[in-house]
């Protein structure tokens, strides 16, 4: 046999692809449990989308045989009105995940380095590896992105830096000043991607929800999503605000009809429904405070959160696992975050008042078990 014949006779993915662990989404079933299930594992909104968005989605069913307008112009204009932005600097995607993936494929050549942080969103790693890039994982400090650690990790090969602000799954954030310090500290050839999937929930006075950085700098992109506060996760809709050259590159590589028409129409309605957004923010603010306080009082430390979920710490990975099993048996599904380097934690998305009440009861029962087994 020649060496040619001993090779596996099928197409071979490049090595970066084989280094990817497939993304494991939060579970949505509780095996064996027959009551109502509360899925608090994917940071979806408990309030659902705006009724106006649902109506727009229904209207779109009349024209399903027609291709969508390829640049999502109506949506870019609506986003522009809401945020005071030039629609020419907005690109929409099939979820912000699509844009996160495309950015690595545009800016990383094989062997180039892409930076994200220890507890960073796993899509960043998938994006870097699938572009043939080398993931460089930078440590966080106190479950928070560390600007100095990122700057220290930059090399001549670094092409892209990803961070979420607020971050998932920790819920921590960087102030506007810190983000600006990071942007200014990066060499001009490095693209900084600020993933604002939870920006609408952030209420800290020093959080910067503006788009000033990509307006002032050539190397900063801000992404947003309709999956979280707007409640349209099923439609797969996201967008970014970026410098002209980045938009130009994205528009070359994205699919010509990457965003579908029902999503465009629902998105226009959702971003225009300020009342619904404010209701969602108020619900979230109330329950993040309440759940964080009550769960911490039961003896489980909670990382302060600016998002629509909280990170709960247990005494050990084994206890976190036991809690996961305990909650699941009650129909309450939380997110195990071992794949984010947090095996001692569970992430809890804010739910309906009913689900939040059940979660507090479940934590109290778990804490009581814990105490009695120690006594
Ligand atoms: C949920 C989430 C997104 C949103 O992804 P879509 O593809 O827009 O649904 C992006 N980044 C982070 C960190 C998230 O948690």
What are the pLDDT digits (tens) for 248-257? 999 999 999 9
Q: Which domains does the chain have, with CATH numbers?
A: 15-48+275-368 (3.90.1150.10), 51-273 (3.40.640.10)
The encoded tokens of residue 120 equal 């960073």
| Whole-number percent of the chain with pLDDT over 70 | 96
Give the CA radius of gyration of the chain: 22
For residue 197 and ligand 1, the question of a CB distance below 6 A is answered with yes
- Residue whose entry in the numeric block shows the structure tokens 């809690």: 323
* Torsion (CA) 284, 287, 291, 294 in degrees, nearest 10: 150
For atom 10 of ligand 1, the residue with the nearest CA is: 197
Q: Do β-strands 309-313 and 302-303 pair in parallel, antiparallel, or remain unpaired?
A: antiparallel
Q: How far is the CA of 332 from the centre of ligand 1 (A)?
A: 22
For residue 168 and ligand 1, the question of a CB distance below 6 A is answered with yes
For residue 164 and ligand 1, the question of a CB distance below 6 A is answered with yes
For residue 267 and ligand 1, the question of a CB distance below 6 A is answered with no
Q: What is the rounded distance in angstroms from the CA atom of residue 307 to the CA atom of residue 296?
A: 17
Mutation pick for ligand 1 pocket among 43, 116, 121 (CB with most ligand atoms within 8 Å)? 121
For residue 41 and ligand 1, the question of a CB distance below 6 A is answered with no
pLDDT tens for 193-202 read 999 999 999 9
Please say whether the beta carbons of 242 and 250 come within 8 A. Answer: yes
pLDDT tens for 77-110 read 999 999 999 999 999 999 999 999 999 999 999 9
What local confidence, expressed as pLDDT, does residue 1 receive?
47
What local confidence, expressed as pLDDT, does residue 282 receive?
98
For atom 12 of ligand 1, the residue with the nearest CA is: 197
Q: Structure pTM? A: 0.95
For residue 303 and ligand 1, the question of a CB distance below 6 A is answered with no
For residue 95 and ligand 1, the question of a CB distance below 6 A is answered with yes
Residue 320 has pLDDT above 80, yes or no: yes
For residue 260 and ligand 1, the question of a CB distance below 6 A is answered with no
What local confidence, expressed as pLDDT, does residue 33 receive?
79
Ligand 1: nearest atom to the Cα of 237: 8
For atom 1 of ligand 1, the residue with the nearest CA is: 197
């Amino acid at each position: 046999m020649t060496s040619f014949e001993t090779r596996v006779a099928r197409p071979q993915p490049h090595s970066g692809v084989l280094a990817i662990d497939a993304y494991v989404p939060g579970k949505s079933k509780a095996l064996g449990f027959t009551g109502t299930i509360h899925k608090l594992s994917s940071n979806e909104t408990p309030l659902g989308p705006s009724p106006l968005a649902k109506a727009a989605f229904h209207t779109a069913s009349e024209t399903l045989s027609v291709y969508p307008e390829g640049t999502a112009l109506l949506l870019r204009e609506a986003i522009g009105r809401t945020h005071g932005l030039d629609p020419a600097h907005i690109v929409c995607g099939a979820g912000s995940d699509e844009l996160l993936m495309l950015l690595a494929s545009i800016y990383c050549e094989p062997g180039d380095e892409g930076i994200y942080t220890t507890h960073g969103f796993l899509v960043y790693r998938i994006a870097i590896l699938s572009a043939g890039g080398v993931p460089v994982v930078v440590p966080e400090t106190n479950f928070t992105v560390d600007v100095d650690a990122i700057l220290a990790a930059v090399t001549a090969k670094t092409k892209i830096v990803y961070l979420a602000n607020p971050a998932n799954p920790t819920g921590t954030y960087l102030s506007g000043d810190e983000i600006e310090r990071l942007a200014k500290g990066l060499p001009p050839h490095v693209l900084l991607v600020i993933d604002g999937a939870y920006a609408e929930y952030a209420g800290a006075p020093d959080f910067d929800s503006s788009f000033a950085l990509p307006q002032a700098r050539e190397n900063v992109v801000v992404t947003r999503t309709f999956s979280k506060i707007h409640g349209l996760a099923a439609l797969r809709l996201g967008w970014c605000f970026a410098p002209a050259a980045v938009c130009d590159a994205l528009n070359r590589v994205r699919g010509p009809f990457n965003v579908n028409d029902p999503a465009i129409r629902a998105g226009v309605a959702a971003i225009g429904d300020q009342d619904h957004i404010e209701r969602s923010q108020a619900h979230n603010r109330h329950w993040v405070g309440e759940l964080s306080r009550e769960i911490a009082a039961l003896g489980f430390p909670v990382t302060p959160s600016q998002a629509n979920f909280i990170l709960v710490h247990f005494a050990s990975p084994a206890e976190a696992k036991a809690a996961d099993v305990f909650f699941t048996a009650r129909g309450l599904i939380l997110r195990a975050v071992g794949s984010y380097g947090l095996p001692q934690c569970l992430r809890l998305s804010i739910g309906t008042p009913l689900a939040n009440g059940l979660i507090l009861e479940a934590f109290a029962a778990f804490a009581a078990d814990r105490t009695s087994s120690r006594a």
